Structure 1
Amino acid sequence: MRMRKLWLFSLLCVGACALLASWLVAYVVIGGWALQTAGSWSGTGILLTLLLLAAGALVVPYMHATEGLDSGSGPIFTALRVFLGTAALTLVAAGITTALAGPQLYHARFGERTEALIVETEPALSEDGERVGTRYRVASHATEEDLGWLMRGPMERAAEGDRIAVTVDPRGWLGPIAAERLGWTTVPTAVLVCCLAAVALAALGIVAAALLLW
């Protein structure tokens, strides 16, 4: 009897870990799309997310079929529903936050500051063709190396030939951004941390419900 309970507890813990891993993979994929850097790995990420989500979500139905748990009721099913709801809401919140402030957060941690010259500008257009801003292509002031298009331009409109401070990604994963855009990162960082904490607590809720099996 004790070994059976240990098996059930272990199975639920594995399911909780699979669900948490699926959330993390899903966020990486959504974050990549939000930053417009998703490549061929996106399809693999989506497949892995679905597999991990299925592995975690099928643990409880499996236990119902093989161990006689009450279907659709009890603390374990409640904890699973809470996790799935929390995961969906936090993915939406984290995805929106990443789309709005992802480049700033990344460059604040990994970017390298340098002086650049604006070498090309063009109108930034909405899907309706209306101008919503200006895009800037920059080059290194010291070496004239092309740094690419700014992901986040300066606060005030600039012209070709203007010198501005930018941060560049030494890994080349993200495009450069204007250095003055790095000042507002506390709130989006807090939102992402809260999202991760919420989904982790929801996963722990499944483990806590599993303890009731003892």
Structure 2
Amino acid sequence: MPVAIHVTKPSLASQFVVSTIGRGTLVRTPENGVRDGRRTRACADEWKVRPGGRLRTLLECRAATDGAREVITVLRLRKDESTSRSLAMAEREDTADVAVRNRGGGLTLSPLADWSSDDIWTMLALLADPGSMPFGSPLLPATIHRLSEIYRAGNGGTCGVVVGESGARASCGSRFGCAFCCVSGDRDKSLEAMIEDEQYGHLRPLNTFRNYLLAIQ
């Protein structure tokens, strides 16, 4: 399939430096991040959903002009990410092969819905090895190796996937988001593990500032 890449960005007013530091908006935490009974995050709403919605509207106008029927948004959501994610996807009836309508009426498809973390890292391992690459990849092997190094640092130095029928299979357990994300709770364990590695020590002030924001709530 021919694929065109479009990059969308949040508005300047909604970005962290302007919103939180400039205007004093409280950072989202597990306690204040619930609206109408649902957990919400600034990154999901103002940094992803709204900019994505603006891009979708633009693409829908272009699609109508080109004679296309409708735009489908492809999401990388996985049920295996968390219990709350799995419940939300089940409620929306998200599947890997059938597009469903979201609250706004748009069609979405989640091709990775049933993938586990191990599936993700196994595929990345295949793409990182030119000899076993199952299909052309836009990711360079060096990029995948770098990604693995970062996740290994955030998981206390452990991260590996064994490709093949034998051997222990263990994916990386670290998770990364914004440096100042406070929804993860009292601590950002992945960042804490990462800054113990000398090459990532320069990130320590970010973790200190993140904890400061949480402490002054």
Please indicate the TM-score interval, normalised by the length of the shorter structure.
under 0.3
TM-score where L is the length of structure 2 = 0.22
Relative contact order (alpha carbons < 8 A, sep ≥ 6): 1 or 2 greater? 1
Q: Going by fraction, where is helix more abundant, 1 or 2?
A: 1
Structure in which a larger fraction of residues adopt strand: 1
Q: Which has the larger Rg?
A: 1
